[in-house]
Amino acid sequence: MKKLRPILPRRLPQPRSTEIPLTEPPLAKTLRLEPLRSTWPKENQPRQLTGTLRTASPQPRRTLDFDIETVAAGFGDPQWVPQKVTVIAWSWCDEEHVSWATRLEDESVMFERFLDAYMQADQVTGHNIIRFDLPVLQADLLRNGFPKLPAKLAQDTIRIVKTKGFKKGQDNLSTLLFNPIQKMPMNWQEWQDAYEESDWATVVERCVSDVKGHKILRERMLGLGWLKPATMWTP
């Protein structure tokens, strides 16, 4: 009679190790790591800061408020009448004084005086300046041999939060927000008469009052949170 062999449980195959046996000493033991030394000359080494590090607070932007008056310079397209700048008025938003210049004497002097302030400004502001004042001013500058305007941050008070059925003219906004300096109303004949004046005093008054009133309007709109942030205007 044959002897029965005991049935032994099979051994399950052991999973193969995916680790690669370390046959060499760790990298730190094979490399002699030394602290990095600066190659800068001693006099150019940065100074050690002591005390609490204070970050510089951003400087407030210097904002130039401006407005232009224009007359038709010809007829070129049914959708657009070429414009010629007659008067420019401008004022720093942190100052009361308003400067102005006309092209009665010399248009180059008018542009140069305004450009001197424009180049100093961090941003410009006005009403509808992105679609009208800046492009019209740019065109007249090019026609008079000036280089193109440099790009500038522009905060246009016609660009407000999304609305529907809301009149966004400067005259309407000024009335709505009880602006003490209202836009000076002038009809067609009054404009004709104003340009017949030898010194264009009425045209200058209109332009200067627009700047004065707009500065107040912008401050009130900023306080109410109506205005969109300034955007970079690029010629």
Question: 205: which 2 tokens?
Answer: 């008054």
Class of residue 177 by CB neighbours under 10 A (exposed 0-12, middle 13-18, buried 19+): middle
> In which band, very low, low, confident or very high, does the pLDDT at 39 lie, cut at 50, 70 and 90?
very low
Among the listed residues 133, 142, 111, 112, the one whose alpha carbon sits nearest the alpha carbon of residue 65: 133
pLDDT greater than 90 at residue 47: no
pLDDT in tens, 77-91: 777 788 899 999 999
User: How confident is residue 4, by pLDDT bands cut at 50, 70 and 90?
Assistant: low
Tell me which of 3.90.1150.10, 3.40.640.10, 3.20.20.210, 3.30.420.10 is the CATH number of domain 63-233: 3.30.420.10
Cα–Cα distance list, 14 to 7, 10, 11, 22 (Å): 21, 12, 8, 21
* CA separation for the pair 88, 33 (Å, rounded): 69
Which residues have a Cβ under 8 Å from the Cβ of 148 and sit 6 or more positions away?
138, 141, 142, 235
pLDDT value for 57: 46
pLDDT single digits (tens) 88-124: 999 999 999 999 999 998 889 999 999 999 999 999 9
- Residue located via tokens 């044959």: 2
